[in-house]
Every structure is written in structure tokens, then in C-alpha cells.
């Protein structure tokens, strides 16, 4: 595969590219999906220092 002697390593080559494509597709689909802003979520009124 692609001139690579071991099929297993050919798959590693191809899967690396496919994984990057997956990242691109996911990033494009969710490009503007912001969820709540961290600034809006900040509310420390209920926070108490951790005990031990």
C-alpha cells in the first residue's frame, strides 16, 4: 500500500490522514457552536474552598 511493505504501516499512514480529516469536518460542522461563554458561567457565590 503506497509503496509501504507492511499493510499495518500503510494503514497507520492512511488513518493518520483520515483522523486529520475527521478533525477538519468536526471543526467545520461545529465552527460557530459556542455554548455558554466562560464569562457568563463565572459565578463564585456558591463556591467554597475545598476541605481535606
Partner 1 sequence: MLAKIVLAILYIGLLLWLGYKGWREDRQAGDYLLAGRQASPFLLALSYGASFISTAAIIGFGGAAGAYGFSLLWLTFLNVFVGIFIAFTVFGKRTRRMGVALDAHTFPELLGRRYQSRFVQGFAGLLIFLFLPIYSSAVLIGVARFLEVNLGLNYTWALFFFIALMAVYVLAGGLKSTLYTDAFQGALVFLMMAGLLIFTYAKLGGVGAAHQALGDLAPQVPAALKSQGMLGWTQGLETGSPLWLMVYTTLVYAVGIGVLAQPQLVVRHMSAGSDRELNRSVLWGGIFTLGITGVAFVVGALSNVLFFQQTGQVAYNVAEGNIDRIIPLFVSNLLPGWYGVLFLLAMLAAAVSTLGSHFHVGGASLGRDFYERGLGSAGQGEVTITRLGVAVTILVTLIWGLVLPPSIIARATAFFFGLCAAVFLPVYFLGLYWKGMTKAGAVVSMLGGAGASFFLTAFVHVKESAALGLCRSVFGVDSLVAGAVPGSLGAILQYTDPNLIAMPLALILALVVSLTTPRPEADHIELCWRHL
Question: Least separation, in Å, of the C-beta of 1 and partner 1?
Answer: 9
Rounded-to-integer distance, Cα 8 and Cα 11, Å: 5
Question: By CB under 8 A, what part of segment 1-52 binds partner 1?
Answer: 2-6, 8-9, 12-13, 15-17, 19-24, 26-28, 30-39, 41-42, 44, 46-47, 50-52
User: Least CB distance from residue 50 to partner 1, whole Å?
Assistant: 4
* Interior/surface letters 17-47, b for 16+ CB within 10 angstroms, e for the rest: eeeeeeeeeeeeeeeeeeeeeeeeeeeeeee
Number of residues counted as binding partner 1 (CB under 8 A): 39
Amino acid at each position: 500500500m503506497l509503496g509501504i511493505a507492511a499493510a499495518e504501516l500503510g494503514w497507520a499512514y492512511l488513518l493518520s490522514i483520515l483522523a486529520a480529516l475527521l478533525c477538519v469536518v468536526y471543526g467545520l460542522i461545529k465552527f460557530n457552536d459556542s455554548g455558554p461563554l466562560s464569562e457568563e458561567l463565572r459565578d463564585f457565590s456558591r463556591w467554597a474552598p475545598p476541605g481535606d
